[in-house]
Structure formats: structure tokens, C-alpha cells
Chain A
Amino acid sequence: MKNTVKQIVEKYGNDKTRLMDILIDTQETFGFIGQEAVELLAHQLGMSQVDVNQTISFYHFFSTKPRGEYAIYLNDSAVAHMFGRQAVKEAFEKEVGIKFGEVTADGKIGLFNTACIGMNDQEPAAIINNKVFTRLTPYRVREIIKHIREGRKVEGLINESFGDGKNQLPSLRAMVSSNIRRKGMILSDDYVYGSVTRDILPKMSPEAVIAEIKHSHIRGRGGAGFPTGLKWEFCRRAKGEKHFVLCNADEGEPGTFKDRVILTEKPELVFEGMTIAGYAIGSDEGVLYLRYEYRYMKEYLEQVLAKMRAENQLGKNIGGIEGFDFDIRIQFGAGAYVCGEESALIESLEGKRGEPRDKPPFPVEKGYLNQPTIINNVETFATAVRIVQNGGEWFTQFGTEDSTGTKILSISGDCMFPGVYEVNWGFNVADMLNMVGAYDVQGVQVGGPSGTLIGPDEFHRTLGYSDLSTGGSMIIFGRQRNLLKDVVLNFMEFFIEESCGSCSTCRNMTQVMTNKLKKILNGKGVAKDLDDLKQWGKVLQASRCGLGQTAGNPIISSLKNFAPLYDALIQKDKDFDEGFDLVASVQNSCKYVGRVPNFNHH
């Protein structure tokens, strides 16, 4: 083991900032990162063991214990539950003979839960040894486990049932479907990749590129909506030894999967967008930070990058522009929603726990390795190519005045045609529901759990930065769903799990609010509990990052828009209920100490 660990660390130049890669390689070599490996890594990197463990223990997919030769991660998102997760889970437990969170005695199979893996349009889904298995049913579970026991390799479990589009390529061979239902400028097939860098960029100065981006009024597609042109301009002006272009492909907001589809179907467009950004801000290095859930795309995306290098779309003097060098590497995460926050992503990229940074300074001034850095969403980079191709003015004809262009929506939940839809901004929710075949809708979660849960009274609202802002996650809930129990609680538990824990507010308030929600769901709530939740939720506003600030939104927005659901649950004849059942507790403790409770004497 000693030599292997040494080789891994040396492969990354003994560089502590590459700890994520080092840990991923270590885990993929040994199946887990045990104490011996931690000691060797710490020694080799000149770090203390607690520091190595600090990074390991932060990420969901890193394990210090064996996870089984076949580590099965079953998605735990609300939509997975809506589409039969419980039956699939039970089938796994029955067939394997262990509970979730355990590994079989022979070390063959481990069962684990995992947060949304970006497959909401084909749930229930699981990841087995980095391969994604979609549309699982108890029958498929039996088959998969049988095949595992027969000794098939993980590729052999897919049964040739590949998804659509490029998922069928030899370098992907994934069960995943792209489910593209509506194309616009990004997903359309009328663009030949490379033509902007080859034909247009050589005729433009970097400043002119930024001017076009600014003129287009495009705002970041990740959800926060910062004007992209301004970001690029700030970064170009910032002084540093080196500038960096980072692409945020950590799409972890439950219900979003459009980056997965863009990267599957149009990866060249994203890489070309990063290259254009590199030209604009004066950078020669780009990094695609890709969530580990999409590890199955590694080989495919690396082939695309190799092809682009071979065609001089990446490398030196790109497009014949003297001195314009740019290349891209892929950095995988390891399972942490908060790394979608740009400064947490940078921390992760530097090999640390994904803890958001204090701002200021902003990444455009001090980002990756403390150098000026832009971080944009996958979709933003893809869109930038079309803007530079056709001009900022052309772009403004799509969408609305304050939200120009198109938006790719990830639509899932109770509808006929879940999938990816590219629409102009300004689309209203009612039209969207009609478009996807959603009938008898109780509510729509706009922008994922950190967004807003709206009911039919608000379906006239439009998608855009000034009304319903969204990174693209749209989850539809039919009349039959129990919104508070099956959706709001699931989302709150997600936020508790995914908080980095740094801020006292986010670390603790999410738990406090969830406990109160459970009290209400258990029929112990009173009117004051609802007031408390409204007041207490405000404390989250004092958190450092967007995750913390929005972590109470599932409760806050459902309290606002679905008040009758809460009112129906609370006790009307009581002003106070401590939520503590004395009789049950006494009975329970008596059971353990062997006494008989006597309630009559009190």
C-alpha cells in the first residue's frame, strides 16, 4: 500500500491542493480510505492526520470503512420516493439481506442512501460503482443482485439497456436518458462547435468579447443571477499572477439535471464557452468542477477534451491567435451540495472541506489559489458561445427585458413528460404545466428546495430574475401528494445533511426548525409553533452563504403558500404543547427497569 499511495501523491506533484484527486484515486484503488492510507497520505503530504480526515469526512462519497465490492447508492430525493423508492429499497434489503448503511459480511455489497443524483426524470435511480442505474423496480433489483452474485462486472449489470442520444456512445454506455423535450439556442443542433473560436474570436479583442456579453444582459444561470459580463470584466481587471476559469458543474440542487444533459449532449459547447471566457479574462487554465455523481461521464468528457486538443480548439495559439493558450482539466467533487456555492467550490478545488468563504474578497479578485477567478454555470458558458457568435443585441430578442435569453428547465415530478426543456425566460408556470402534461397540480417547487413552493394561486407567475428566479429545477406535485410530510420534511433533512456546519445559524437552526416540523406532523403542534417557525426562520438570513440563507425555505415558503396544510395539523383546543408525551415516556422507561407504571396516584 505504501508504494501505491506514494505513487498517487506523486502523480499530483505532492501538492496538498490536489487532495481531492489524491483521495479519489486512493479510494478508487483500495475501495475506501482506511486508517493506514490516511497515515501514509498525511506523512507524504506533510499534513497532520486530522487535516486529511477533515477533508475525507466532509464528503459523502469518501469512506474510511470498506463499502463493499459493489457500493450501491440509492437516491433519496423526494421525487425518487414519489416513483416507488420504498419498494426498491425494500427489494434491495431483501435481496441483499442487509439494511441500508450496512455492508454484507462477505464484503461483497454495501447499501447506502444518497442525496439527489441528478436523475429526477428517471427515478428511482442508484449509483453502483460509479455507474448510474435508472428506472429501478423490484424486478430489476432482483436481477441486478443476482448478476452481482454471479460475479458480473458492473458494466454487465446494465443489460444493454442504454439511454437515448449520446448516452449510447461507446465512451458513455449509460442507462441514463437525456430526455430533451424542447430545444432552443443551446440545445439546438444548428451550431457547429468550434466555429466561434476559429472564425470569430480572432477578429475580436478580449474587451470586445466582454462588451458583447455585457450587451446581451445575460445573468448567471446557476441561480444567483449575477450579470456575467460584469463578472468577466471585474476579473479581467483584477491583478494576479494567473487568472482562472472555473465551470460549476456541481449541480446538486435536488431536481436539477440540465447540466448533466448539456454535458452529455453538448460538451464541446461548454468547453468552447470556457475557452472564450479564458480569452476574455486573460486566462490559460480552466477547470470543470463536476459532481461525483456524474463520474460515469469521466471517460467520455476526457475524450471530448482530447479531441478538442487535437483540433487546436484547446492548447496553444487557439484559433490561430498568437499567444492564446488555454486548456481544461476536470476536477471531481465527492458528494457535497454546498460545493455548488462558488467559494466552497474553490475551497474544494484546493483540496479542503467545501466551506464557503467570507466575502469580500470575491472570487473575481481572490479566487482559486488566491488568484482572480470567474466561476460560471455550465449553461452560462454554453450560452456565451451563442452570444459571441450572434452578438449581444441578437440575444436580447429572446426572453424578457430583465431576463434575456433562454433557460433550460429540469422538470420532474407528477407530469407526463419529465425531462429537459429549453424555453425563453418569461414563460409562465401555467403554460409550463400544460407543456409537460401536468394535471391536477397541487404545487410546484420552483428552483429546488432552496427556492419556493407555489400553489395554483401563483401559477400565473413568470420565470425570470424579477419574479420566479430559478436555476432550472422544477418539481411538480400532484394532488395526491402529502406536501409537508413527503416533500418539505425531505427537503429540510437534505439541508441538515448538506450544511457545511460552519455557521452556527445554518448548522443548528435547520435542525431546530425540522424538529418543530416533526412535532407538527406528529399532531403535537399548536398555533404558536407556526408563529415560532416564521420568526425563527429569519435567523438563517445571518448565515454566510446562499445555502444557509435559504435552508429554511422549504418550511418558510410552504407556511406562506400552503398555510391550510399546517392549520389542518395543529391542535385547535390547546395554546401550548411541549410535544413531550409523559405517559408514553414513563411507560417506556418502566419497561426497561422492569417496573409497572402507576398513573392513578398522580
Chain B
Amino acid sequence: MSNLIKFKIDGVECMTERGKFIVEAALENGIFIPTLCNMPGVKPKGSCRICTVKINGRLMTSCTTPVADGMEIESNSAEINELRKSIVELLFVSGNHFCPACEKSGNCELQALGYYYQMMVPRYPYEFPLREVDASSPHIIKDQNRCILCKRCIKTIKDEEGKSFFAFHDRGHRLEVVLDKEMGSQMSEALAEEAMKNCPVGSILKKEKGFNQAIGSRKFDKKAIGSDVKL
């Protein structure tokens, strides 16, 4: 039996190997589906919901759903794009995201998606929550104002024994990603660097370092997110 399967995204015939998640398979076929919490090679969790697509009338996250033979996927439709834009706006109003003052501006995936979906002003009222900045670790700053709770740091930043540096704390609207005090105090520079890199927004910053690239010349300053993906 061939390991290749056929499927369609917005009517476009695609092909991939069995077992791939939709978001990867789409990328292989030159179709961009936005993601925030997903990272290639890391077990997906489907928590930001931005990669939601419609399959058989049901909303599914494309980072967690494997492609099936003959699957027909709706992604770049008015309904789905509106939903994704809503999610971007929800993330903006539920935190304190002040792009011009953020070290990550231009490299921030949330900001890039704001531009991608042409968000002018969120339709939802800003919540302006009171959030803390944890600078207790010698190498990183964890700014809760900007955290979108994507779990990327929780999943990827571990010590040699597999112990976590980051974890969720509390639940619901009070949910936070917190840094282990003990582990944080022993975090290596290399891991701190990786944590900052893996954060899609500016919630994890490396201390004692400005930036290599000036604002205006960063990743998404030059090209819109997803624009390097071509059919």
C-alpha cells in the first residue's frame, strides 16, 4: 500500500505521507495555515486554536489532526479567517501587548498575525489586566503581560533529566506560565537563549542583552508572516 495520500485544502489537490498533521502537510504543499502554539517537531497541543480549519462541517485544529485520505479541508475561507482574526484580537485584549515598546517587535508572531489579518483595533474591549514581571532568574525575564499561554516554553525547555523549568499555574482566566524558582536560578545561558527564541511573543526575554537586529529590519518587518510559503 502506498504511503502517499491525497487530500484537498480549499479545493486545491494536495498529497502527503500518511500520519502527518494537517499543518505540516499543508506547508509541504505550499499552503500557509497560521500557528502560534505549534512548533515543528514538538508534540502539538492545540491550545491557541489559530490553526482551526473546517472538516466535514466540524472545526478542528490542523496542528493536532492527522491528514486522512480524501480529506477535504476548508482553511482560507471568510468564516475561518474571521474566526482566526477573532482569536488574534482575543489574545491582544486579554494581555497587555504594547508593540512599540516590546523588545520582540518585528519578530513577534502574534504581532505578525495581527498584520496578517489586518487587525486595526480589536472588536473586544481591552481588559488591561494587572500582570507581573518575574525577573528573579539571573538570565531571563518572564513578562506575564505578554504571555499568550502557548506552552511552547513548557514543552521545550527541560533539564537533562527532563525536569520542567516552566509550568502552568492555576486555571481559566487566572492561568499563567511560571518559571520554577529553583530551576530558574540554575538555568544556563544557552537554555535562556532557547527559551527566548521559542517564545512566539515577548514574554521571555534574555537579560543583559539588547538585540542583534534593529526594529525595522526584523523577520516580519520585511516580509509578512507566511509570505515565504508559496503554492
Contact = CB atoms under 8 A, between A and B. Distances in A.
B170 interface: yes
Interface stretch (B6-14, B44-52, B210-218): B44-52
Contacts of A54: 167-169
A445 B163 CA distance: 46
Interface stretch (A366-374, A387-395, A537-545): A537-545
B125 A508 contact: no
Nearest to B48: A504
Given A360-B66, A512-B125, A504 B90 contact: yes
Nearest to B88: A504
Nearest to A539: B86
Interface string A500-514: 111111011111100
A48 B46 contact: no
Contacts of A58: 168, 170-171
Nearest to A359: B64
Contacts, number: 137
Contacts of B46: 358, 503, 544
A358 B44 CA distance: 9
B172 A499 contact: yes
A48 B90 contact: no
Interface string B28-42: 000000000000000
B64 A358 contact: yes
A125 to B, nearest CB: 24
B165 A508 contact: no
Given A48-B165, A505-B90, A496 B124 contact: no
B61 A358 contact: yes
Contact of B181 (A49, A507, A538): A49
A483 to B, nearest CB: 24
Nearest to B163: A48
A50 B59 contact: no
A508 B173 contact: yes
A350 to B, nearest CB: 15
Contacts of A511: 94, 127, 173
Report the interface size class on chain A. 35 or more
A501 B170 CA distance: 9
B87 interface: yes
Nearest to A519: B125
A544 B47 CA distance: 8
Contacts of A507: 94, 149, 172-173, 175
A512 B90 contact: yes
A498 interface: yes
Q: Is the interface of A mostly helix, strand, loop or mixed?
A: helix
B229 to A, nearest CB: 22
Interface string A33-60: 0000000000000111111011001100
B93 interface: yes
B201 interface: no
Contacts of B165: 48, 50
A503 B47 contact: yes
B91 A353 contact: no
A48 B168 contact: no
B172 A501 contact: yes
A536 interface: yes
Contact of A499 (B90, B173, B182, B183): B173
A515 B127 CA distance: 9
A49 B180 contact: yes
Given A496-B172, A542-B59, A51 B163 contact: yes
Given A504-B91, A507-B149, A536-B124, A544 B167 contact: no
B168 A508 contact: no
Contacts of B178: 50, 53
Contacts of A510: 172-173
B220 interface: no
Interface in B180-213: 180-183
Contacts of B132: none
Nearest to B46: A358
A336 interface: yes
A508 B170 contact: no
B65 interface: yes
A497 interface: yes
Nearest to A511: B173
A46 B164 CA distance: 11
Interface string A333-355: 00010000000000000000100
Interface in A532-559: 532, 536, 538-539, 541-544
A544 B63 CA distance: 12
B94 A508 contact: yes
Contacts of B52: 542
A503 to B, nearest CB: 6
A336 B172 CA distance: 11
Nearest to A500: B171
B90 A509 contact: yes
Nearest to B87: A504
B186 to A, nearest CB: 11
Interface string B141-162: 0000000110000000000010
B34 to A, nearest CB: 13
Contact of B87 (A353, A499, A515, A539): A539
Given A50-B178, A539-B87, A57 B93 contact: no
Nearest to B124: A512
B80 to A, nearest CB: 9
A46 B59 CA distance: 39
A501 B175 CA distance: 6
Contacts of B172: 496-501, 507, 510
A543 B83 CA distance: 11
B62 to A, nearest CB: 11
Interface string A417-455: 000000000000000000000000000000000000000
Nearest to B150: A504
Contacts of B166: 50
B45 A502 contact: yes
Interface in A178-217: none
Contacts of B64: 358
A504 B124 CA distance: 14
Contacts of B22: none
A526 B182 CA distance: 51
Contacts of A501: 149, 168, 170-175
Given A505-B87, A505-B90, A53 B173 contact: no
A536 B50 CA distance: 16
* Residue among A51, A58, A515, A532 facing the most chain B CB atoms (10 A cut-off): A51
A58 to B, nearest CB: 5
B49 A504 contact: yes
A511 B125 CA distance: 11
A115 to B, nearest CB: 12
30 contacts: A46-B163, A47-B164, A48-B167, A48-B182, A49-B181, A50-B167, A50-B169, A57-B170, A57-B171, A58-B170, A353-B171, A358-B46, A358-B64, A498-B171, A501-B171, A501-B173, A502-B175, A503-B48, A504-B47, A504-B48, A504-B91, A504-B94, A508-B90, A508-B173, A510-B173, A511-B127, A512-B93, A512-B125, A541-B59, A542-B52
Interface of A: 46-51, 53-54, 57-58, 336, 353, 358, 360, 496-505, 507-512, 515-516, 532, 536, 538-539, 541-544, 579
Given A501-B174, A503-B49, A504-B50, 9 more contacts: A48-B163, A48-B182, A50-B167, A54-B167, A58-B171, A504-B49, A536-B86, A543-B49, A544-B47
